[in-house]
């Protein structure tokens, strides 16, 4: 068999694109903000993870621009050899202090943070237990490790306990998302912590979608539940509530030093260091996040309002408890049809199809930010209700005729 034969097999996303539903790789002609420009047209952005609206904040952009002037456009090498500036060292200290950890190590991306941390810590004869719907970077980090990988059913604590019980006295790491990126669910951290204590397992929480969002001060899932001290390693990203690029692991000093110097953390040691300009923007975003809690309050006011409205209309939004709000649409055809209606109405939303979700569990994923206005949200809710009624996803008003799906399938 030719190695490239698989490349010529039909792909659902390409089939939908050919049918006129070009939902992926759309080219933005403006900065990431509450509105964006695509093909010369302004659209309300509901597909980014820019939770606090800082990606286009003038203070963040100014900090990044000043860093370019001082440090240049790139580092020209890895953190270990020549790619650590004062900014890298300062940001690691700031992140550790914010998260009440002894130290932090900053990676070039959030993906690499999970890949490097998990694969470094779990070795032969040890176990890593992963929620089946955890970030792909957690799954890949577990697979890259030399330990045995056990996957438990999503948020199923009984299944997790059975797997932990089967690990015996070996070293164990439980790795979960704090907030699940497709469903908007918060992990049942109190129960997870209880099981980790009982079975002497260490706990890693990927707070990519919780940092800046959950907790009184935005420190994430641990703060939300009052369990910060029970999490051994916090993984975070600098591409969501914090604006920019990069990721980090925050933990006790010995763990972080092992990740820096242990010679097993290839995704850190062998990756080119992130440019100082990106770090300066992240640092400025962290300052704003700490000093302006009103941004988080605005985000949650919008989130609660939208969840209440959508559920009142009859939409299935699953167990979402966060600014990530999925609308269950069922089939691929209906999902793309709703995407097209919302796109034509001026709303940028994300289409989520298998394998990102189970078969038959397709979603329209909405993500809200502190930058969205009441008027924008009003317009969106009206458009979503109209599209849902046309497609028969929600009950239609009397006399309203649902639209027949005309989608290539």
Catalytic residues: 181, 209, 240
Residue 310 CA, distance from chain mean position: 22
- Looking up tokens 């317009």, which residue turns up? 379
- Whether 187 and 197 have beta carbons less than 8 Å apart is answered as no
* Residues comprising the chain, all counted: 409
Written as one string, the DSSP assignment of 224-280 is HHT-GGG-SEEEEESSSSS-SS-EEEEE-HHHHHHHHHSS--HHHHTSBPPPHHHHH
Q: Element (H or E) spanning 367, and its range?
A: strand 362-367
The whole-angstrom separation of Cα 144 and Cα 116 is 9
Question: Strand order in 362-367's β-sheet?
Answer: 324-330, 362-367, 350-352
Structure tokens at 384: 């979503």
φ/ψ of 362, rounded to 5, equals -60, 150
User: For the sheet containing 41-45, what is the strand order?
Assistant: 35-38, 41-45, 347-348
The DSSP result for 266-287, as a single string, is: HHHHTSBPPPHHHHHHHHHHHH
**SS percent in the chain: helix, strand, coil, step 5:** 40, 15, 45
Q: Give me the residues paired with residue 43 across strands.
A: 36
Query: Do 85 and 71 touch, CB atoms closer than 8 A?
Result: yes
Give the C-alpha separation, 173 to 187, whole Å: 16
Residue 79 and residue 292 in contact, taking contact as beta carbons nearer than 8 Å: no
- Nearest residue to 211 via CA among 184, 241, 244: 241
């Amino acid at each position: 068999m030719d190695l490239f034969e698989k490349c010529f097999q039909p792909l659902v996303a390409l089939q939908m694109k050919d049918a006129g539903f070009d939902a992926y790789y759309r080219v933005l002609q403006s900065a990431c903000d509450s509105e964006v420009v695509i093909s010369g047209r302004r659209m309300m952005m509901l597909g980014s993870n820019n939770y606090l609206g800082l990606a286009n904040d003038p203070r963040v952009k100014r900090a990044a621009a000043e860093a370019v002037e001082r440090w240049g456009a790139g580092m020209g090498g890895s953190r270990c050899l020549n790619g650590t500036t004062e900014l890298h060292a300062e940001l690691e200290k700031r992140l550790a202090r914010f998260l009440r950890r002894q130290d932090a190590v900053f990676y070039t991306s959030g993906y690499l943070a999970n890949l490097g941390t998990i694969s470094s810590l779990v070795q032969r004869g040890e176990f890593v237990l992963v929620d089946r719907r955890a970030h792909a970077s957690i799954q890949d980090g577990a697979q890259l490790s030399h330990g045995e990988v056990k996957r438990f059913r999503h948020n199923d604590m009984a299944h997790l306990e059975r797997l932990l019980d089967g690990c015996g006295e070996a070293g164990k790491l439980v790795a979960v998302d704090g907030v699940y990126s497709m469903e908007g669910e918060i992990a049942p951290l109190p129960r997870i912590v209880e099981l980790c204590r009982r079975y002497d397992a260490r706990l890693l929480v990927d707070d990519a979608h919780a940092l800046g969002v959950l907790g009184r001060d935005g420190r994430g899932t641990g703060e939300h539940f009052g369990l910060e001290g029970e999490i051994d390693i916090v993984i975070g990203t600098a591409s969501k509530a914090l604006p920019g690029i990069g990721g980090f692991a925050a933990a006790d000093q010995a763990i972080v030093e092992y990740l820096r110097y242990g010679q097993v953390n290839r995704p850190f040691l062998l990756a080119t260091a992130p440019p100082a300009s990106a770090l300066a923007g992240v640092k400025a975003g962290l300052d704003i996040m700490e000093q302006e809690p009103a941004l988080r309050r605005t985000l949650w006011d919008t989130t609660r309002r939208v969840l209440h409205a959508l559920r009142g209309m009859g939409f299935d939004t699953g167990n979402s408890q966060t600014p990530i709000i999925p609308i269950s649409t069922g089939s691929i055809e209906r999902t793309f049809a709703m995407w097209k209606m919302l796109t034509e109405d001026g709303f940028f939303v994300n289409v989520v199809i298998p394998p990102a979700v189970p078969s038959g569990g397709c979603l329209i994923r909405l993500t809200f930010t502190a930058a969205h206005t009441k008027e924008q949200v009003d317009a969106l809710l009206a458009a979503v209700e109209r599209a849902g009624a046309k497609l028969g996803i929600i009950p239609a008003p009397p006399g309203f005729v649902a639209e027949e799906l005309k989608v290539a399938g």
